[in-house]
């Protein structure tokens, strides 16, 4: 089993408040391949976070069977601050409420790495 789990503390938005980022890393070795998978940058978009839970279950099974190649990093919810953003009963999470910027617009492109087939990470 190669799975490790880490929590990274985010800077506090107010005294006494804390948020942590969760990261699961599968280190299968035997390859230089690596993939980074995250969900929920727009925290009001829940389908990706649901799908990533199913993906994690599948990856754990592959890991237990020794079938992970390379490194796979999974962040099940990339925006824990946005997960808690509710305004008058509505879940927001797409925008930074300090300056209304869309969180997605500040990400660097990872287009080249996303075209890699996930099957390359599983040993047959």
Which residues make up the interface to Zn ion (CB under 5 A)?
42, 45
Of 67 and 103, which CB lies nearer to Zn ion in the complex structure? 103
Three-state SS for the chain is CCEEEEEEECCCCCCCCCCEEEEEEEEEECCCCEEEEECCCCCCCCHHHHHHHHHHHHHHHHHHCCCECEEEEEECCCCHHHHCCEECCEECCCECCCCCCEHHHHCCCCHHHHCCCHHHHECC
Find the shortest distance in angstroms from Cβ 38 to Zn ion.
11
Find the shortest distance in angstroms from Cβ 35 to Zn ion.
19
Of 55 and 60, which CB lies nearer to Zn ion in the complex structure? 55
Find the shortest distance in angstroms from Cβ 57 to Zn ion.
23
Of 41 and 72, which CB lies nearer to Zn ion in the complex structure? 41
């Amino acid at each position: 089993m190669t799975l490790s789990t880490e929590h990274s503390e985010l800077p506090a938005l107010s005294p006494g408040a804390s948020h942590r980022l969760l990261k699961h890393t599968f280190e299968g070795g035997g390859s230089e391949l690596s993939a980074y998978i995250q969900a929920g940058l727009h925290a009001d978009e829940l389908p990706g976070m649901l799908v990533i839970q199913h993906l994690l279950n599948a990856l754990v099974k592959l890991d237990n069977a020794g079938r992970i190649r390379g490194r796979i990093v999974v962040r099940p919810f990339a925006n824990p601050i946005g997960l808690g953003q509710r305004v008058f009963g509505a879940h927001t999470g797409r925008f930074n409420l300090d300056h209304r910027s869309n969180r997605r617009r500040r990400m660097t492109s990872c287009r080249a790495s996303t075209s890699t087939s996930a099957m390359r990470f599983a040993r047959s």
